[in-house]
Chain A
Amino acid sequence: MTSTSPDNAIEARQIVKRFDGDTAVDGIDLTIKKGSIFGILGPNGAGKTTTLRMLLGIIDPDEGERYLLGSSDPISKAHKVGYLPEERGLYQSMKAYDAIAFMGALRGLPLTEGRKRGREMMQNHGLGDAVDKQIRALSKGMAQTVQLLGTIVHEPDLIILDEPFSGLDALNQGKLERLIRGQADKGVTVIFSTHVIAHAERLCEEIAIVADGKVPFKGKVSAARDRLRPQVHLETRELDGPWRSSIPADCEPLGHNWHFTLPESGVEPLLEALIQGKAGIESLSIERPGLHDAFVHIAGEAVAKKMDTDAAADALGEAA
């Protein structure tokens, strides 16, 4: 029996999952601290869902070990966990508030309490009119919200959301982001997978990038971004002069605009050289790279392109 830290909500060590000979997850290590918002980023088919299913105990890893809230038997901790799967599903004939109560009851919440909370939560989320409606009578967005409320009705310590933003319009995506922050403020650990980097960038303290069943990066968002040097956008009146040696030699101007990676020496020596060399600075901006750039750098161009395609397809689906 391997010991786990009580500070960690999740610990996974070298977990492997193969389907019909294909390796879907290839030796992933994950440590997720309690009370954090953690994002798992990667394109469709990268192994995110399989990883989450193993962490939750829906499927067993072929190799390695995983601990959820300190237990190697995740189902035994199910009453402290909320899970929203990627493929949403509810019993169509159930009334909305009853569906929330049922999901709570599965995880140990008494049915009467679940029904009471279900009604209240629906009122608080602007779904008061739909409380007594059957699931089949709700719009897709409403049904998704009902399922999300069912995921948290029993007030779990850990919430795992698989592609929670998928299929939501911008308004509901904003609501979901607020809900995630609200849960984190209460000390709840929130883990979600996504192929939309912007959500992770806005919400997460830490992320894991998953590509081809492996995790090429895990850590703080800032650490991922720090893997790339800041980018300089400079506009000068002059095109040549002694200042030219302060910027990379292979940097070619586009008109009077220069784009290059900030030299290791930093901002001040660059500024000094430009001023003293009379470059005639019209404008100068230094941008810290975003998570998307960091993702491209870490996971590679092909994986990033695939993820952008997935996100675009998702957006098209929402529009439809």
Chain B
Amino acid sequence: MIENFKEVIRAAFVIARRDFTAIIFSKSFFFFLLGPLFPLIIGLAAGGLGKQVNQDIDRPVIGVALSEGETEKLIEARDALAENLGNRTIPELVILPEVAADDPDIQRHLDKAKQPLTAIISGTLEEPRLTGAEQDVKRWQGRTALLSETALKGSSPVAVETDYVAATGSSKKRTQLLTAQGGQIILVLLTMILAGMVLSNLVEEKTNKIIEILAAAIPMDAIFLGKLFAMLGMALVGITVWSTLGAIGLFFIIPDLPNLPAPAVGWPIFCILLVVYFSMAYLLLGSLFLGIGAMATTVREVQTLSMPVTMGQLLVFFLAAMSVTKLGETIEWFAVIFPFSSPFAMIARAAQMDNLWQHGAAILWQAIFTLIIIRFSVMLFKRNVMKSGQAARKKSLIARVAGR
């Protein structure tokens, strides 16, 4: 068993080395490196897709800590204004019955709030006090005054007292959501662009009739695994080149880069996880595409297959994007467990949750599923392309998946 595994790894390395050098030293690799021009365009388009998520993230939620009667008036005023000015123009209000209107430690309630709060209105409608991060308070001060004035039926202008606090738990959560979304978009874009290339990866072997030499010499799993790792290696070379050039470019264009919101696990681990989850997403989708592409007998068939495959990737992206703001909810758990969306959902978690063990479990699950896909792909390839396996078909499903 161990010997077999060692042989598969050895043979996979031979295939990976051949493919990797053949790609890296080809003239077309230069054009591949020019590829980011294309993702830039895709990125702009994807910006529209991310807008919905952004709106969810940016939509302010203001806590209300007023007396019961004033709270009612404020809610009524909010509804009236939302009807006239549009729902998104006026911040969402959340009643905080446990917070007294004259509570001296509003910041504590901001940090402990169950949902991320932009700020809290306390005091009275005549003299409201808005507590929150400086940028948030400045942004919503005017609307808070408008809300109070409307609640008081506009008798006189209301001056809002401001109370700035240092970074709150809520503002931190919101910035981490931005990081989660950013990390996810990077992962999805790279995977979408690079994993699709695996589709046509066995065409060379089939058109050059090399597949029979390979199939007679090494386990078929090693061929698939080797090809997958060669393509992953190529993708990582591309990413290294692009990110290096991108960083240099940014340094010259915007020397004073703004402070990016730090993810929950910290930047170094987040960057490592970004590479790891890209690799896992690539291996998961790549193994699926390799399996699908291996069934194709001509380049034309591969081209035909590429469209539904891209659509499938987009669906996975939608699922992952949808789950970003739903941490801990069923949909987010589904995205975490569903293998193809798992890397994207997990990078979002890395931005928002600081426990690391879950990443170990997720990576293990994703690796196991990659191997399962490769086994199935090999089985289908042997049966449908190499025209083998009626004997194999008689074996149990588990035996086939296990390669026994």
Separation of A76 and B1 alpha carbons in the complex (Å): 11
**Contact check: which of A58, A75, A111 meets B212 at CB < 8 Å?**
A58
A4 to chain B, nearest CB (A): 19
- Whether the Cβ atoms of B215 and A58 lie closer than 8 Å is yes
Given contacts A59-B382, A59-B387, A76-B4, contact A91 B216 (CB under 8 A): no
* A83 cross-chain contacts in B, Cβ below 8 A: 213, 216-217
For the complex formed, measure the closest distance between the CB of B11 and the CB atoms of chain A, giving whole angstroms.
Answer: 7
Q: Which residue of A lies closest to B204 (CB)?
A: A91
The answer to whether A75 and B209 touch (CB under 8 A), given A59-B386, A93-B22, is no
- The answer to whether A78 and B216 have CB atoms under 8 Å apart is yes
Q: Which residues of chain A from 75 to 129 have a CB within 8 Å of any chain B CB?
A: 75-76, 78, 81, 83, 85, 87-94, 102-103, 105-108, 111
CA distance A60 to B387 in the complex (A): 9
**What is the CA–CA distance of A57 and B218 in the complex, to the nearest angstrom?**
10
Instruction: Say yes or no for B40: interface residue by CB 8 A criterion.
Output: no
Alpha-carbon separation in the docked complex, A90 to B211 (Å):
10
* A34-52 interface bits toward B, Cβ cutoff 8 Å, 1 = contact, 0 = none: 0000000000000000000
Residues of B within 8 A of A63 (CB): 391
Q: Please tell me if A256 contacts chain B, counting CB pairs below 8 Å.
A: no
| Cβ-defined contact, B217 with A78, below 8 A | yes
Q: Is the CB of A93 within 8 A of B209?
A: no
Given A58-B386, A62-B390, A106-B217, answer yes or no on A85-B212 (Cβ-Cβ < 8 Å).
yes
A320 to chain B, nearest CB (A): 20
The reply on A18 being an interface residue by CB < 8 A is yes
In the complex, what distance in Å separates the CA atom of A78 from the CA atom of B204?
A: 23
Alpha-carbon gap, A57 to B388, bound state (A): 10
The CA of A58 and the CA of B238, in the complex, are separated in Å by: 35
**A78 and chain B: residue at smallest CB distance:** B217
Chain B interface, >50% SS class: helix
Whether the pair B391, A61 counts as a contact (CB closer than 8 A) is yes
With a 10 A CB-CB cut-off, give which of A58, A62, A90 has the most chain B CB atoms: A58
Contact B391 A85 (CB under 8 A): no
**B389 nearest CB neighbor, chain A only:** A60
Q: Does A56 contact B (CB under 8 A)?
A: yes
A83 to B217, CA, bound (A): 8
Interface string of A1-39 (1 = CB under 8 A from B): 000000000000000001100000000000000000000
CB-nearest residue of chain B relative to A88?
A: B209
Among the listed A57, A61, A76, A105, which residue makes an inter-chain contact with B14, where contact means beta carbons less than 8 Å apart? Answer: A105
B369-404 toward A: CB 8 Å interface, digit per residue (1/0)?
A: 000000000000010001111111000000000000
Task: Using known A-B contacts A75-B218, A106-B14, determine if residue A91 contacts B388 with beta carbons closer than 8 Å.
Answer: no
Q: Which residue of A lies closest to B15 (CB)?
A: A106
Chain B residues numbered 200-215 whose CB sits less than 8 Å from any CB in chain A: 204-205, 208-215
Known: A60-B392, A61-B391, A62-B391. A89 touches B212 (CB 8 A): yes
B112 at the interface (CB under 8 A from A): no
The verdict on A18 contacting B390 (CB below 8 Å), with A88-B209, A89-B210, A106-B14 known, is: yes
Nearest CB in chain A: distance from B387 CB, A = 6
- CB-CB under 8 A for A85 and B390, given A105-B14, A106-B214: no
How many angstroms between the C-alpha atoms of A99 and B386 in the bound complex?
23
User: Is B43 close to A, CB under 8 A?
Assistant: no
Q: Write out the residue numbers on chain B whose beta carbons fall within 8 Å of the beta carbon of A62.
A: 390-391
- B216 touches which one: A19, A58, A60 (CB < 8 A)? A58
Chain B residue contacts of A76, Cβ below 8 A = 4, 7
Contacting residues, chain A, for B11 (C-beta < 8 A): 106
Whether B304 sits at the interface, judged by CB under 8 Å, is no
- Across the interface, which residues of B come within 8 angstroms of A60, CB to CB? 382, 388-392
Q: Does chain A have a CB within 8 A of B51?
A: no
30 contacts between A and B (CB under 8 A): A18-B390, A53-B212, A53-B216, A58-B212, A59-B382, A59-B386, A60-B382, A61-B391, A62-B391, A63-B391, A75-B218, A78-B216, A78-B217, A85-B209, A85-B213, A89-B208, A91-B18, A91-B22, A91-B208, A91-B210, A93-B22, A93-B26, A103-B213, A103-B217, A105-B14, A106-B11, A106-B217, A106-B218, A107-B217, A111-B17
Q: What residues make up the interface of A, taking CB atoms closer than 8 Å to B?
A: 18-19, 53, 56-63, 75-76, 78, 81, 83, 85, 87-94, 102-103, 105-108, 111
Ordered nearest first, which 8 A-B pairs have the shortest CB separation? A89-B209, A59-B388, A106-B217, A62-B390, A87-B209, A89-B210, A85-B212, A83-B216
Given A89-B210, A93-B22, 20 more contacts at CB 8 Å? A57-B216, A58-B212, A58-B388, A59-B382, A59-B387, A63-B391, A75-B219, A83-B217, A85-B212, A85-B216, A89-B208, A89-B212, A89-B213, A93-B26, A94-B22, A103-B213, A103-B217, A105-B14, A106-B11, A106-B214
